[in-house]
Chain A
């Protein structure tokens, strides 16, 4: 019986429990709803809740734990692998599982009888061939040990599954009986059900924590694995980045960090002045009409997916820049060899960040109270003097925070640099050369069919860790600045 069916049975039990519970409550109240503590629905829900929730939780737990427990039980049967060699053991165990699944399939398709599957021996039957009849391809011949383990695996999982059915449905029935026994006219069903709902709400809120924990764990776990294969000092201080899946790769992060920062700086150099001046103009000078049109238009730039910017960089801006700065270009210089360059990616990323800077700064400038402007204008300052000497200093912490957030966005941006910045990792000052970034290298190291145990693939997790720490640090710093230096106008 599959887990889906068990869940369905539990749910049917819960539905029955709902009806019975509601009826029982009404009965105990002599059919008069006013004698009940809660609405009848709550009595029904209470029974349904106690029937289904513990049973389904048990089911989920069992499904998760059973393979682990069985693995632990059959591991001692594998004697050919030395104790402590967990990698090889894992491979053998997955072989065992595949053979066991194959035997299951063979039985269900009628190629083998159940008894045959339990009793076949490698000495007499070519198990590999028999299994390939039902479409299970095995990499190598099945050893005696593996087959024995697979057969043991089958018996264990059959009895485990049987136990699971009994246990889950038993728990559901116990819950139903218990809930029904509690049901009478004075029972506070609403309070119990609402407490249950609140638990669900808290569980949902915890998903945010779980996600963070998941990110941190998956990064740390693989980073530690990487540093076991590759020295950390060479990763952090190495000046060359030349991975080769054949071995002997040099995985220094510095060229990638340099590319990341160079591109981000160019992007900020484009986005900050434009975004800031646009925000100042929109909040201090523009008529309501201009503002109502220009602000949403500018924010359209923020709604465009980054893949579009990436394509724009690769196919429009890159060739354009080559036409200007490249060989035979308008300026007659030969600074640029190809379309993908730091300048291309930085420029386009700057465009992407304009609305980010402008709308954040706009909010902050608008938060500066009008009385400060009035005071300054009343003293005879012009509007630009008011902006420069009164409004901007008051808004400065917020604006710095906005710029830091934009920087964090630039550092974490992926698609624009993957398409626009090139793939060569180098330490150079020329903005017209192709360079690469941390994010672009994460993509290139983890796409393709790399196995996740080589340092060349694992390095991506360390790069991700570095990226995560940098962006998190920038965000925390930005929020801290905003909080610490915020002027309180009350």
Chain B
């Protein structure tokens, strides 16, 4: 043995010399592979982050513009000759002048404004009102009907500018793009510039976008998301009222009572499969069962809520079961030990302890339901102009309405680019709701989560 060791020490020079301080080729290669592999990981993460940032940038940069709107201020002379020739002051007589009849008054007001400010233009007087929203006449008429004493006076009105003018101030519309536009000519923009200098055209925050109703295809400047927000609210109410009790009851049964048998297995398989069924299939179910068979009204938030309930049930059941499972058995044993029945131990002790987890899961399920669009398309919540607030609670559930994501989809499909801006704006509002719900869920979890 000593020979062998002596041999090696003398033979050492025949092998390649290795040193810990000097990397050989193979180690270098392996280290390079290691660095490469790590770089791939970082790159993947970076790409993911980049997509997230790109998405959020697109939303914010396109959407914030929807929250401001261009208004035009002008002095309108409410000509008593036209509105109330006999001087009756009677609201019914004044109401006889239709919105169409106010067109002339607006034309006159615009002309007056231009003359007063010394702005000259080649546009015919009758065409000046293309700068304004076609809803301007209705706005003035409503103001007059609300207060008939205005007739005969000169009142300063703030009316919406047309979507083209609005787009010009937001940089979406240029003179070149107007060259072939029938709704507005480049000369109008000169007038707008002059009016803006005079401080009569102004862009400012537009509450009507948040609270208002949808408008027809030709009046994007008037469209708002408020009514569909109410529709979403009623749908979420249905989802909450149905899915929370049903989900909790199902979870309690499966987690605490169900015997190990085929029937239980069958329920479990069904729930896990339902969680993976594409949402559009739930829309087909809603159309076939709730509308075709049960004859519930189309487009009603009630039907939407029912469909979304079925869709979110698996989510809620899964999270509820997890939080029931996390309550330690000692709690149940203690309750049973002092003479409670199984039902009492669960309802009096396990359920309250699991409640924060259940609520967190429910809020997350609701958030998922709030953003879901596809099933709503099939039960008729698009292609429908949500122009009125529901009159009451029953109406809120049963009368046709839209929902926020469906409204966004509807806007995205319209031809006028002014609607795209509103779709992005709608997304900002939708995401704000989702963010709030998620933050509440996180806070709930932080505040009440218990480690046993």
Contact = CB atoms under 8 A, between A and B. Distances in A.
A binds B: yes
Pick from B59, B370, B374 the residue with the most CB of A within 10 Å: B374
Nearest to A273: B44
B74 to A, nearest CB: 34
A281 B58 CA distance: 28
12 contacts: A214-B288, A274-B44, A277-B41, A277-B45, A305-B370, A305-B430, A308-B55, A315-B424, A383-B34, A383-B38, A464-B284, A468-B278
Size band of the interface chain A makes with B: 35 or more
A236 interface: no
Contact of A443 (B37, B280, B423, B438): B280
Contacts of A274: 44, 47-48
B363 to A, nearest CB: 12
Interface in B255-311: 257-258, 266-267, 270-274, 276-285, 287-289, 292, 310
Given A382-B33, A461-B288, 10 more contacts: A204-B245, A275-B44, A301-B52, A305-B370, A315-B58, A351-B51, A382-B31, A382-B34, A405-B276, A479-B272
Interface string B160-171: 000000000000
Given A298-B48, A315-B412, A471 B278 contact: yes
A479 B390 CA distance: 46
Given A312-B58, A443-B280, A464-B280, A305 B371 contact: yes
B278 A452 contact: no
A415 interface: yes
A194 interface: yes
Interface in A446-468: 446-448, 452, 460-461, 464, 467-468
B33 A207 contact: no
Contacts of A351: 51, 55
Contacts of B341: 190, 194
A297 interface: yes
B374 A204 contact: no
Interface stretch (A9-17, A51-59, A152-160, A215-223): A215-223
A205 B251 CA distance: 8
A208 B431 contact: no
Interface in A377-395: 382-385, 387-388
Contacts of A387: 37
Contact of A294 (B49, B405, B409, B434): B49
A305 B48 contact: no
Contact of B409 (A200, A408, A413, A415): A415
Pick from A219, A311, A414 the residue with the most CB of B within 10 Å: A311
Nearest to A412: B278
A201 B373 CA distance: 31
A204 B246 contact: yes
Nearest to B268: A208
A215 B38 contact: no
A411 interface: yes
Interface string A307-346: 1111110111000000000000000000000000000000
B409 A461 contact: no
B284 A219 contact: yes
A354 B48 contact: yes
Contact of B280 (A201, A209, A408, A439): A439
Interface of A: 190, 194, 197-198, 200-202, 204-209, 211-212, 214-215, 218-219, 221-222, 273-278, 280-282, 284-285, 294, 297-298, 300-301, 303-312, 314-316, 351, 354-355, 358, 382-385, 387-388, 405, 408, 411-415, 418-419, 439, 442-443, 446-448, 452, 460-461, 464, 467-468, 471-472, 475-476, 479
Nearest to B252: A201
Nearest to B342: A194
Contacts of B277: 215, 412, 468, 471-472
A442 B374 CA distance: 10
B280 A212 contact: no
A311 B427 contact: yes
A285 B38 contact: yes
Given A205-B258, A447-B377, A460-B284, A218 B250 contact: no
Interface string B1-31: 0000000000000000000000000000011
Contacts of A207: 246, 250, 313
A197 B257 CA distance: 12
A301 B59 CA distance: 13
B266 A297 contact: no
B207 to A, nearest CB: 23
Given A198-B343, A202-B253, A311 B48 contact: no
Contact of B45 (A200, A278, A304): A278
Contact of A310 (B38, B271, B409, B438): B409
A51 B292 CA distance: 34
A478 to B, nearest CB: 9
B354 interface: no
A326 B4 CA distance: 75
B314 interface: yes
Contacts of B372: 305-306
B257 A201 contact: yes
A407 to B, nearest CB: 11
Given A212-B270, A301-B52, A411-B278, A282 B45 contact: yes
Contact of B373 (A280, A304, A384, A415): A415
Contact of A413 (B267, B278, B288): B278
A408 B249 contact: no
Interface string B391-407: 00000000000000100
Interface string B319-341: 00000000000000000000001
* 6 tightest Cβ-Cβ pairs between the two chains A and B: A412-B278, A281-B41, A305-B371, A218-B288, A277-B44, A204-B249
A464 B278 CA distance: 10
B125 interface: no
B173 interface: no
